Structure 1
Amino acid sequence: MGQSAFIKLVPESTVQQITLKDLKDKIHHYIDMTSKTGKQLSWGYADMAFPYTIVEKTESEGTWFYLKGNDPKLYKYIIFGVGAQELEEAGEKKQQHFIQVVLPEDGTHGDKGKANEFCKYLAKEYKGELHLFNGRVMYYYPRK
């Protein structure tokens, strides 16, 4: 498998758990925002800002979907999934939900750039903790 980035939903996040439908809704909101920007600029910005088609396989069982690039030379695939992991804090077990973004091994530089952009957008929207592909962490929630 390729590289993975994670958006972890922390107690300070806007939501504590996420479904695939919620994630798709955020992606559609992103597409809508960029198309409105394009209309203001009188330019087809939406096609450049989101050069993908959303594809969901029947075997994904509501846990993942992928974005298929419209121009295979520049963009191939980005995979999005949702899940949860068990954490133990102060002797108490809790579930921490997350969004996983995967770049397949044959992904392009364009895919990585767009994946980073989508990750930052989603982390900002959900006020989550973003673990980037390179291992660095960005905090989009108020820290004490």
Structure 2
Amino acid sequence: MSENAYIKLVDSSTQQTVTLDELKEWFRYYKDITSKTGKQVEWNYSDKAFPYEIKETPEDSSGWFYLASREDRYKHIILGVSTEKILLDDETEKIQSYIQITLPESSTFGDKGKANEFSKFLAKKLKGELHLFNGRVMYYYPRR
């Protein structure tokens, strides 16, 4: 059975919405900064730090893409963006954007570790509310 983690963009997040293209740019930025770590220690760390490439399907407009790896310990991570209606304390409804990170059944424990790393990175950058695969919640925004 697949597992899901979510990064919810709350009122105090740096952005209220995120597009698929922005998510791809964050992925490229993350790969870039992890490869710089390898340069500092003079080791080809970029191939091991986050060994995924973006793979797109013919139905790109559906709001998701997946990351595929050629490494033997890693397989796939699916990333998508969407919105949901939430009920506020004053009983009004609001549309809230979120990023969904999915591990399909074929994913490995290595995929789960890398997905956790990337989701924490994204939640920190966006100051979001991270709902981890194990059901726990991490708050990366200033709470009142």
Fold-level similarity (TM above 0.5): yes
Structure 1 runs, 4 residues or longer, greater than 6 Å off: none
SS at match of 1:87: strand
Match of 2:120 in 1: 120
Decide whether the 8 Å contact of 1:20 with 1:62 is kept in 2: no
Using the size of structure 1 for normalisation, the TM-score is 0.95
Match of 1:76 in 2: 75
After superposition, what is the alpha-carbon deviation per residue over 1:89-114, rounded to whole angstroms, capped at 9, x for unaligned? 22322110000000011210100000
In structure 1, the gaps of 5 or more residues are none
Q: Distance in 1 between matches of 2:80 and 2:67?
A: 11
> 1:131: how far off?
0.3
After superposition, what is the alpha-carbon deviation per residue over 1:5-61, rounded to whole angstroms, capped at 9, x for unaligned? 000000010000000011111111101101111111111111111111111112131
Q: Distance in 1 between matches of 2:46 and 2:127?
A: 24
Match of 2:129 in 1: 129
Q: Distance in 1 between matches of 2:92 and 2:60?
A: 31
Match of 2:86 in 1: 87
Q: Distance in 2 between matches of 1:25 and 1:58?
A: 20
In structure 2, the gaps of 5 or more residues are none
Match of 1:111 in 2: 111
Q: Distance in 1 between matches of 2:32 and 2:106?
A: 29
Q: How many residues align?
A: 143
Residues 18-97 of structure 1 aligned to structure 2 (within 5 Å): 18-61=18-61, 63-71=63-71, 73-89=72-88, 90-97=90-97
Using the size of structure 2 for normalisation, the TM-score is 0.95
Q: Distance in 1 between matches of 2:39 and 2:115?
A: 24
Pairwise CA RMSD of aligned residues? Answer: 1.1
Matched letter for residue 47 of structure 2: D
